[in-house]
Amino acid sequence: MSDAWIKPFEDNMSPAEMVIFPAEGYRIWHVPPSLLLKSITTETLWNPGERLEAKCTWGSCVCKSPEWRTPGYNLFLYGSEQRDMCSAGIYGMKTFELGLESYEFEVKVHEKMEAGAKNRIAFGKVYLWGKLLECERGFRAQYGYPSGIFNTSDISADIATIYRVPLLEFKS
């Protein structure tokens, strides 16, 4: 793997600001008819039994350019702080509450477009490891894999079985 996705951080951070350890976060996925988890903002499929590896999707990593700014999830993770950087990485929110907020927002958006939106959005926990960046509200990591799926719909148990992870009790 190319480490281009993390290069903008390394150029602007001291080694003490970069944390390299296993972490667990909360995240959401899109669920296509195949029941394979798909990243919510990209076409990236999470293959069962395989770690997902972060990749810069901009090829030569135009994110190194000072003009490149990604306010979306970066703003969510960093709060009011803005950074010029690549948005590549495996994302996870630090708390259940932040993950739940994201889940409820996506379900509400999808309910406007299709019936059964809860069956199209999965909410769960994710293991994050490799190079890991701790941010204000979440993490971005080099590698990730689901560590559990919350029982939010009638297909949650099937997804948990496919990925061989626990089905987690959901209390909102």
- For 153, other C-beta atoms within 10 Å of its C-beta total 21
* Residue 74 scores a pLDDT above 90: no
Q: Give the span between the Cα atoms of 149 and 6, in whole angstroms.
A: 28
pLDDT tens for each residue of 88-97: 788 999 999 9
The pLDDT value given to residue 157: 98
Q: Give the span between the Cα atoms of 23 and 45, in whole angstroms.
A: 21
Query: What is the gyration radius of the CA atoms in the chain, in angstroms?
Result: 16
Helix (H) / strand (E) containing 24: strand 23-30
pLDDT tens for each residue of 111-158: 887 777 788 999 999 999 888 878 788 888 888 999 999 999 999 999
The pLDDT value given to residue 60: 37
Selected residue with higher pLDDT from 168 and 83: 168
Residue ranges per structural domain of the chain = 3-168
- pTM comes to 0.74
Contact 93, 137 (CB under 8 A): yes
